[in-house]
Amino acid sequence: MECNLGVLASCSTNAKYRTYDGSCNNLVYPSWGKANTAQRRFEYNGDLMIDYDDDNSPRGGFPSCLPSPRLISNTLMADELGPTDQASPTLSGQHFAFGQALTHDLIKTQLKRNLKCCENNDIDVCFPFDIPAYDKDFTPGCRSFQRTERSPDVTALLKTSPGENLPENVNGFCVKKDPVADFCQLTEQVLSIQTKKHVINM
């Protein structure tokens, strides 16, 4: 994946329409929320909400291992703890559907392609986990899992302590919400959109 993260957008205050890639949505900070840029973290009381055990591994996973996420899910959703189909008096399935649609419109996780983390666990972006034999939903065995792409944008480096830099993750979408689902991407991707009859010239 190639990112032109160091190129600042040139914005026009008289532009009639928004940009395809989300740039210039904020004229003061034109790259904020742009597609393929770093997705910044929230701060709490002035501190960044970030915590790694060894500057890389997930919290609680160094030097020991975290339990399998499927083990946690199966334990929490066990029949012994009560029915999992309890109806809510105030919420419906629309709440779930809207929330999922919203996150899918605003976030596109960028991953390194063709990584086989179960075969090579020495790669620093790989965090495979085991699926237990009694799992009802997934095939038992190793499940490949990898960390999202890190942003090479030097302005996105987190300085959690003197001399320590922790890069942010890349978001493939821009963060503004439009009525058209998944429309806001890089300009070259939008220009390559085709209809059944012709290529859209924009």
* Residue 198, φ and ψ in degrees, nearest 5: -160, 165
Q: Is residue 187 part of a domain?
A: no
pLDDT tens digits, 124-172 = 778 888 898 888 889 999 998 887 777 665 444 444 444 445 567 777 7
Range of the domain at 99: 41-79+94-168
User: What SS3 state is found at 61?
Assistant: coil
Q: Is residue 9 part of a domain?
A: no
Catalytic (active-site) positions: 104
Q: Is residue 58 part of a domain?
A: yes
Q: Is residue 104 part of a domain?
A: yes
Q: Is residue 141 part of a domain?
A: yes
Residue type, 2: E
Number of domains forming the structure of the chain: 1
Q: Is residue 62 part of a domain?
A: yes
Could you give the CA distance from residue 169 to residue 149 in angstroms, rounded to a whole number? 6
| Inter-residue contact 149 to 112 (CB < 8 Å) | yes
Distance (Å) of CA 63 to CA 56, 99, 122, 179: 11, 36, 14, 46
Mark out the alpha helices in 3-50 (DSSP H runs).
Answer: none
pLDDT tens digits, 32-53 = 878 888 776 666 676 666 666 6
Q: Is residue 181 part of a domain?
A: no
Q: Is residue 173 part of a domain?
A: no
For the chain, what is the mean pLDDT? 71
CA angle 4, 5, 7 (to 5 degrees): 75
